[in-house]
């Protein structure tokens, strides 16, 4: 039985809360406060967690299809689902920030277009008040667009070769680290270090884990290595402590890190994220108190609303400080943190229940023009006499069916037994957390994992003969 990766939802919540903590720490002036400030400054590690999880969950269906020898996922449907998950709430947050915040009154048409299209990191002066944290979403969406090409590069023959995936991912990651080190000096653009190549190593770490997870031999070996969750997390803690030292650069936003510091920060953050995630995607899925708690209802619920927490919190933080009369670097960390969480979490929950989840019902929708239509079978050629006879027969049939009032409406097929009118089915499948939705089980025909094919019916056999007798045969 394939995994459901239930614990990854909890890691999403952890990543979102880490981002909230680091932003509150900066706005209240806690970064220079010794080790506590240094750790708050480096809780942007939550972005690395997001990127590794995204690389793992989004690439896994492609690798699973390659391993099973089935057609890959539809790129169009993949992009449609990603757009539904990201864009509606993002657009709402952008519009609210640009209209409600007085500091954004001077944002012009170009700024509006850049922020609505997630291209603000590619322009000079498009960052807006309350939206500075959305740079990571711009980078993630760039990865969404690049993922089908990345997978094609990793599996060029639609056949999974884990060793090729690991080698190519490593080479691309080295290139990403080099880009992270030199982006600030190579480009005359203030946000070049936030472009996708600088963070490609984190995404590729997730794709490498995904490829290993669908290969039976590799997965068996890694399952044994991942049993010691405490050991992996202690290693992650040690690497995080190392990242909090000056070797990864200054903690503030005034002084830029050197190329070596940028490269080391990229490597250390990626290593910490892999060490945290590795024992949750391999090893016993729900064994032990920690794994079972992470898969429990409260962490899972927070994971479901983590995107809302991430998107909304910055506007709540800044506007709340203004309304309370707190200036920047006010040294009121706990007050500001409490205010931000008390407002952000309920608003994110309401957004998920009444907006995001309803929008996600459209993920199975496709325009009628894009739906595949059955190809008509070619009709045999007829002679003049046969064509005339067929035309006469058709005209007589239409006349008998239409009557004096015009063509009669076509009756739908009757259901045997029970009432013809039953309760309506919902518009789409019930919404699921991303960690479950994006992971497709192995096996089964394409598009319907695990379904059972129908056996051909003998000529002349009745449909009722295939149906079991008794109450079990009734429709629910």
pLDDT for res 464 = 42
Is pLDDT at 312 greater than 60 in this prediction?
Answer: yes
pLDDT for res 193 = 93
pLDDT for res 367 = 54
Model confidence, pTM: 0.77
pLDDT for res 386 = 45
Residue 453 burial (C-beta neighbours within 10 Å; 0-12, 13-18, 19+):
exposed
pLDDT for res 198 = 97
Is pLDDT at 403 greater than 70 in this prediction?
Answer: no
Is pLDDT at 458 greater than 70 in this prediction?
Answer: no
- The model's pLDDT over 74-95, given as tens digits with 9 standing for 90+, comes to 999 999 999 999 999 999 999 9
Residue 158 burial (C-beta neighbours within 10 Å; 0-12, 13-18, 19+):
middle
Name the band, by pLDDT with cuts 50, 70 and 90, for residue 365: confident
For residue 222, give every residue at least 6 positions away whose Cβ sits within 8 Å of its Cβ, in sequence order, or none: 212, 213, 278, 282, 283
Query: Of 59 and 126, which is predicted with more confidence?
Result: 59
* Residue recorded with tokens 């919404």: 431
SS3 105: coil
Average pLDDT of the chain to the nearest whole number: 82
Name the band, by pLDDT with cuts 50, 70 and 90, for residue 291: very high
For residue 302, give every residue at least 6 positions away whose Cβ sits within 8 Å of its Cβ, in sequence order, or none: 9, 10, 13, 16, 309, 345
pLDDT for res 443 = 37
Is pLDDT at 373 greater than 90 in this prediction?
Answer: no
Is pLDDT at 134 greater than 60 in this prediction?
Answer: yes
Joined together, the tokens standing for residue 105 give 């009154």
pLDDT for res 472 = 41
Cα distances from 459 to residues 1, 174, 345, 453, in angstroms, run 37, 63, 61, 18
Q: State the CB neighbour count (10 A cutoff) for residue 11.
A: 25
- The model's pLDDT over 241-286, given as tens digits with 9 standing for 90+, comes to 999 999 999 887 777 899 999 999 999 999 999 999 999 999 998 8
450 φ/ψ angles, rounded to the nearest 5 degrees: 80, 0
Name the band, by pLDDT with cuts 50, 70 and 90, for residue 190: confident
pLDDT for res 321 = 95
pLDDT for res 437 = 44
Domain residues of the chain, as ranges? 44-295
Name the band, by pLDDT with cuts 50, 70 and 90, for residue 422: very low
Q: State the CB neighbour count (10 A cutoff) for residue 4.
A: 16
Is pLDDT at 414 greater than 50 in this prediction?
Answer: no
Is pLDDT at 375 greater than 80 in this prediction?
Answer: no
Ranges 186-190, 299-303, 446-450: which has the least confidence: 446-450
Is pLDDT at 300 greater than 90 in this prediction?
Answer: yes
Query: Of 110 and 432, which is predicted with more confidence?
Result: 110
pLDDT for res 33 = 86
- The model's pLDDT over 329-343, given as tens digits with 9 standing for 90+, comes to 988 999 999 999 999
Spatial distance between the Cα atoms of 185 and 400, rounded to a whole number of angstroms = 82
């Amino acid at each position: 039985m394939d995994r459901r990766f239930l614990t990854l939802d909890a890691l999403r919540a952890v990543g979102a809360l880490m981002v909230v903590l680091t932003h509150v720490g900066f706005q209240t002036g806690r970064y220079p406060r010794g080790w506590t400030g240094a750790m708050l400054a480096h809780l942007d590690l939550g972005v690395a967690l997001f990127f590794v999880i995204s690389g793992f969950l989004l690439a896994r269906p492609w690798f699973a299809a390659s391993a099973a020898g089935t057609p890959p996922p539809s790129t169009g449907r993949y992009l449609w689902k990603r757009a539904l998950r990201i864009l509606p709430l993002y657009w709402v947050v952008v519009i609210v920030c640009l209209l409600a915040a007085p500091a954004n009154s001077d944002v012009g048409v170009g700024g509006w277009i850049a922020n609505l299209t997630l291209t603000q990191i590619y322009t000079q002066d498009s960052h807006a008040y309350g939206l500075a944290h959305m740079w990571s979403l711009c980078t993630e969406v760039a990865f969404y667009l690049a993922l089908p090409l990345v997978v094609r590069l990793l599996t060029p023959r639609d056949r999974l070769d884990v060793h090729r995936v690991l080698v190519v991912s490593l080479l691309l990651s080295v290139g990403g680290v080099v880009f992270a080190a030199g982006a600030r000096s190579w480009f005359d653009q203030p946000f070049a270090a936030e472009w996708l190549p600088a963070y490609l190593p984190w995404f590729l770490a997730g794709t490498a884990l995904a490829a290993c997870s669908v290969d039976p031999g590799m997965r068996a070996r890694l399952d044994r290595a991942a049993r010691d969750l405490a050991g992996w997390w202690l290693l992650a803690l040690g690497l995080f402590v190392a990242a909090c030292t000056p070797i990864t650069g200054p903690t503030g936003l005034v002084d830029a890190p050197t190329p070596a510091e940028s490269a080391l920060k990229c490597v250390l953050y990626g290593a910490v994220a892999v060490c945290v995630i590795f024992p949750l995607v391999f090893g016993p899925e729900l064994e032990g108190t920690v794994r079972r708690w992470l898969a429990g209802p409260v962490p899972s619920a927070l994971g479901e609303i983590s995107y809302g927490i991430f998107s909304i919190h910055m506007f709540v933080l800044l506007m709340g400080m203004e309304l309370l009369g707190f200036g920047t670097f006010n040294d009121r960390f706990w007050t500001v943190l409490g205010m931000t969480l008390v407002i952000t979490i309920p608003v994110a929950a309401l957004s998920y229940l009444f907006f995001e989840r309803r929008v996600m019902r459209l993920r199975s929708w496709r325009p009628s023009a894009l739906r595949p239509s059955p190809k008509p079978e070619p009709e045999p050629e007829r002679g003049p006499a046969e064509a005339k006879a067929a035309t006469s027969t058709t005209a007589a049939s239409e006349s008998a069916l239409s009557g004096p009032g015009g063509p009669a409406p076509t009756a739908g097929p009757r259901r045997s037994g029970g009432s013809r009118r039953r309760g309506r089915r919902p518009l789409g499948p019930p919404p699921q957390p991303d960690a479950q939705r994006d992971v497709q089980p192995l096996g089964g025909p394409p598009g319907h994992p695990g379904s059972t094919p129908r056996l051909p019916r003998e000529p002349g056999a009745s449909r009722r003969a295939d149906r079991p007798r008794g109450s079990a045969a009734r429709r629910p």
